[in-house]
Structure formats: structure tokens, C-alpha cells
Amino acid sequence: MTAARESADPAAKVIPIESAPSWCGPDPDARPGLADRIADGVGTALAGQLGATATRVLGKDWEQRAANGLGFLRRRLTGDYEVDDFGFDRELTEEVFLALLRPLAEKYFRIEVRGTEHIPAEGGVLIVANHSGTIPLDALMTQVAVHDHADRHLRMLAADLVFVLPVVNELARKAGHTLACNEDAQALLERGEVVGVWPEGFKGIGKPFADRYKLQRFGRGGFVASALRAGVPIVPCSIVGAEETYPMIGNFKTLARLLGLPYVPITPTFPWLGPLGAIPLPTKWTIQFGEPIPTDSYPKDAAEDPMLVFNLTDQVRETIQHTLYKLLVQRRSVFG
């Protein structure tokens, strides 16, 4: 088992990840026995009348799915799985996280994905996208799109807030994401990973509904500098549909300051409908990946040229903005 970072700080102390959850027992030799007993018990139940019922209800391929599930359970209990030094758990991401997000992408938002041929089949690449929607569902849906349509894992650069929230911090690490800093971005790109960044940050997802599809500032272009140092292409990504999932018509600024949050949104359904107000509207989405902008032709010290970094940042931003306008003109309606 490799090591994972303890916090989002690039200089954070590296701590070992236990090979299995502590509740599996203090004796490592007992863990495989526990896994075997659980798997055998489930297998025995499925081999009996429960199996016949499962065939009628779930179809003939249920046995293969059950075997895969038991194999996953066994590996989880015995610690027979790997994570990288950022904490990325590939199997957990594919079998659990993406499996839970996929129905939302395919059935609820009915996402149309375009231009995945612009994502290289291998090697490092930086995907830069617009950010919107009050809650960053657009980033999660882009992760599903990259995996299912380009057969690669998207490693997102997330805001500091993600890594100070309990549970969310651990889930983000397991899904392969890390702090939005130049050091982590460059390290992932040099490894040949697909890295995703949303430069608008909270200014993008927290903007008023009246400003929808108007890109906010892209910061100082740190993402461009990372791409230049790694010599990887930049792929602009334009997302339409996320703006309308939670139309933000107001902001509880005082409450946000008290909670230490960038904003507390007021939408047509929240807080008026209580927990039901947290359900996103079923808008129709389009995610389009544009032609890559190469960086490998620039000299090695190009990242230290502020004018070049600014110009490339502006080029990426303008490409995304123009594509958004084109997609909006083509869209028949918000919901279909």
C-alpha cells in the first residue's frame, strides 16, 4: 500500500494508509477469515432459493454481478487495494462514486457530451472549464463524462474549503482530487494524468442568476503556468445547463459570514421548501470539450513570462465564453 497525504497542504506530513479498516480486527491474519466468512455466507444464500428469485428479478447476469460485488467486498475487508500518494482509490471511484453519479448524469440531466476526441488517450492534459450552479455538480458531471466517454480519470483541483469539511475531505481524496495549487497540478500533469480546473472558483458557482453564462475572472493564470512547465495541452471545456440547476436569486451574506462560507444561496426553492429545496432542477446539459491548445512548443522558462501566461489564460477564457454563446444559441430549451 502506498502513502496518502494527511491534508491539502503540499508540504503536509505523509502518513501511511492502513491496509484495512480498523474495525476488521486487531489481528491482520483474522481479516481474510472474516472476509471469507462474509463472502461464503452471501454466496450460500444466493445459491439457494434466493438465487432463483434473483434470476427472475435481476436477470441471468446477476451471478456475474454478485461475484463482482463479493470480490469488491473481499478486497475492501482484506485491504487488497491500492491508493496513490494523493489518496486516489481507483477501484472505489469506479465501483461506487461513479456508479452513484452516472444515473444523475445520464437520466436526470441527460448530458450530451461532445468533443471527447480532443482529450488525448494518454499523457498529461489540463481541462479548464466554466463553473456555475451554486453547488459544484458541474465538476462531478465532468468527471463522469471524462471517464465514460474518454476512458480516463479526471483529477480535479478543488478549493481549500473542500479539504476542511469532514467526510467531504476524505471522499474527495479517495476520488483522486487535490488542492488547487500549482505544485499538485504540476505533479499530476507530469505523471500523465488528466487534471481538471475551474478557475472561476466560488465567484463562478456563487454568481447571481442574472449573470449566468458570463465568465468571471480566471485569476492569475496559475493553471496555465503549470501546463507550460509540464508541457501538456490545455483543453477548454464549456458546460451549459448547470447554471439553471439552482438559480441563485439572493444570498444570506450575514449567515454566510457566521458559518465561514463564501455564500448561503437563496433560490426559488431554497429555503422555502426545506430539504426539498436542495433537489436540483432537471435541466438538460451539454458538455463540450474544445480543441487542445498545445504548450510543448514554448521554451522551458515560458511559465516565468507573465505576459505569455496572461495571453494564454485569456485565450482559454475567450474560447470557453464563445463556445458557451454558441451552445446557448443551439439550445432549444432549458429542460429539453
From the list 112, 181, 168, 92, the residue with the least C-alpha distance to 135 is 168
C-alpha torsion 327→329→332→336, nearest 10: 30
* Helices within the chain (DSSP H only): 30-47, 49-58, 62-78, 90-92, 98-103, 137-150, 168-174, 182-190, 202-205, 222-230, 253-259, 306-330
Cα distances from 105 to residues 133, 152, 212, 282, in angstroms, run 15, 17, 21, 10
Q: To which residue does cell 503549470 refer? A: 226
Q: Answer whether CATH 2.40.110.10 is correct for domain 90-245+280-330.
A: no
Q: What is the pLDDT of residue 326?
A: 97
Give pLDDT, residue 6: 38
Q: What is the pLDDT along the chain (336 residues), one digit of tens a residue?
A: 444 443 444 444 333 433 333 333 344 444 556 656 666 666 666 566 555 665 555 556 666 777 777 788 788 888 888 999 999 999 999 999 999 999 999 999 999 999 999 999 999 999 999 999 999 999 999 999 999 999 999 999 998 889 988 999 999 999 999 999 889 999 999 999 999 999 999 999 999 999 999 999 998 889 999 999 999 999 999 999 999 999 999 999 999 999 889 999 999 999 999 999 999 999 999 999 999 999 999 998 999 999 999 999 999 999 999 999 999 999 999 998
**Residue ranges of domains in the chain:** 42-78, 90-245+280-330
Closest CA to 179 of 199, 195, 156, 198: 156
Helix/strand/coil for 334: coil
Sign of CA dihedral 152, 153, 154, 157: negative
DSSP secondary structure string for all residues of 293-304: B--TTS-GGGGG
pLDDT digits (tens, 9 = 90+) for 220-263: 889 999 999 999 999 999 999 999 999 999 999 999 999 889 99
CA-to-CA dists, residue 43 to 62, 92, 279, angstroms: 12, 22, 38
Q: Which residues contact 264 (CB under 8 A, 6 or more apart)?
A: 251, 252, 253, 255, 256
Cβ(293)–Cβ(231) under 8 Å? no
In a 13 Å sphere around the CA of 99, the CA atoms on its Cβ side amount to: 8
pTM metric for this prediction:
0.81
Q: Looking at residue 78, what is its pLDDT? A: 82
* Of residues 235, 200, 203, 201, the one with CA closest to residue 218: 200
Angle between helix axes 49-58 and 62-78 (nearest 10 degrees) is 110
Q: What is the pLDDT of residue 219?
A: 82
